[in-house]
Amino acid sequence: MANDLSNGKLTSEQLVPKLAALLKDFTQDWDSEFEGQMDRGTTLLADLGFESIDIIQLVVAIEEDITHKKVAFDKLLMKDGRYVDDLSIGQIADFLATQL
């Protein structure tokens, strides 16, 4: 796969469908009750049934398939010294757009 980000920065709007496609593949064989389209507002824990280890794996998948390099995800995952309660696809896209 070509480096998606090698030809210039992607905007948050461009990143949302990429993340949704990745998450669709990521969760395709989970016993998830989520139905419908994934969009900016879809959340990892509440909607997609993520657990802690799934977030670790998602970070790896984003770095492998979208950014093609390691990203300082701590800035997204921690707020005021505590881990965030949940994340939406939009929040991840907004974050990646500022980091890359």
Partner 1 sequence: MTTKTLFIGMDGCTYTVLNEMTKDLPGEGVAMPFLASLMAKGVRAKLRSTPNPLTPPAWTSIMTGKGPGEHGVFDFIRAEDKGGEVYWTLYDSRDVDAEMIWSIASRAGKTIAALNFPLTAPPPKETNGAIVPGFIPAKHLRRNSHPAGLFERIKQAIPGFDPKELAWDFDKEKQAMESLSDADMENWVRYHLPREEQWFHIAEYILANDKPDLMAVMFDGTDKIQHQAWQFLDPSLMPAERSELYNRVRGVCREYFGNVDRYIKRLVELVGPDAQVFFASDHGFTATVEVLRINSYLEDLGYLKWAESDGSEQALRREASDFANLDWSKTVAYCRTPSSNGIYIRVAEKPGDPGIPKKDYNRVRDKLIEDLKKLRNDDGEPVIVDVLKREDWFQGAHMKDACDLTLVLRDNGFVSIRNVKPPVVKRPNPIGTHHPDGIFMAYGAGISAEGMVGKRKIVDVAPTLLHSLGLPTPSDFEGKVAETFFSGAWLSENPVKIGAPTVRGGEREKSEEMDDNEKKQIIEQLQMLGYME
The residues of the shown chain that bind partner 1, judged by CB under 8 A, are 25-26, 29-30, 51-57, 59-61, 64, 68-74, 77-78, 81-83, 85
**Residues whose CB falls within 8 Å of the CB of residue 41, separated by 6 or more in sequence, listed in order:** 88, 89, 90
Nearer to partner 1, 2 or 53 (CB): 53
Q: What is the DSSP string of the chain?
A: ---TTTTSPPPHHHHHHHHHHHHHHHTTTS-----S---TT-BTTTTT---HHHHHHHHHHHIIIIISS---THHHHEETTEE-S--BHHHHHHHHHHH-
Nearer to partner 1, 35 or 85 (CB): 85
Nearer to partner 1, 21 or 60 (CB): 60
Nearer to partner 1, 13 or 31 (CB): 31
Closest contact distance (angstroms) between CB of 53 and partner 1 is 6
